[in-house]
Every structure is written in C-alpha cells, then in structure tokens.
Amino acid sequence: MEALFHLRDFGYEQLTELTLDGLLIRLTESTWVRKGAILTPAERMAALHSLIPPGLALSHDSAWWVHRGLGRAPAPLSFITLPRRRWIADDGFEAHRN
C-alpha cells in the first residue's frame, strides 16, 4: 500500500516543495502521493474520504477516477440533479441507478 500524505499531517509549503521537486503528485485538495505510485481503488477512495460529506454519493467522474483514473481526482462536490434509486451493498458502499 502506498503512503498517502495528508495536508493535516504536513504543512502545505512542505508538500508543495516536494511536488515542485518532482517527488510527490497531488491527488486531491488535501492529499499527495509519491510520484510514480500505482494506487489501488481502495487507496484512491482513502484519498477522497476526507472530502466527501457523510451521506453524499460520488459523481460518476469521481467513481470512474476511483476505479480507473489517473492523475488528480475530479472535484468531489459535483452534484447530480436527476432523481435516482439508491442501493446500499452489504459492505456499505452505495450505488445509484436511474
């Protein structure tokens, strides 16, 4: 598992300096990871976890990034205005379908 560097644990200046030195890349507004790291969906979800308010479902862009994405995460607070049926799996993950 790759180490995620969170803004709450390090200073913004320190993380930005390491990014400019080419050692880290920024995943979200508050999470960085080692450059060249290969992340699993669980690690990408952990990077988004602190940004998602409880009870809010991820957008399709964010869900795609968690499972297949490269680079920086899309804005997590994009909302879908269409009504959707809700289904919650046994492991607690939520899925939405029209």
pLDDT for the residue numbered 3: 85
Instruction: Report the alpha-carbon distance of residue 6 to residue 87 in Å, rounded.
Output: 31
Q: Are 96 and 84 in contact (CB under 8 A)?
A: yes
Give 78's contacts (C-beta < 8 A, 6+ positions apart).
59, 61, 62
Question: Is the pTM above the cut of 0.75?
Answer: no
pLDDT in tens, 34-88: 998 888 888 888 888 877 777 666 777 787 888 887 778 877 666 555 555 665 6
pLDDT for the residue numbered 63: 79
pLDDT for the residue numbered 73: 82
Q: Are 51 and 74 in contact (CB under 8 A)?
A: no
Domain spans in the chain, listed from the N-terminal domain onward: 4-97
Buried b (16+ CB within 10 A) or exposed e, 45-57: bbbbeebeeeeee
pLDDT in tens, 22-35: 999 998 889 999 99
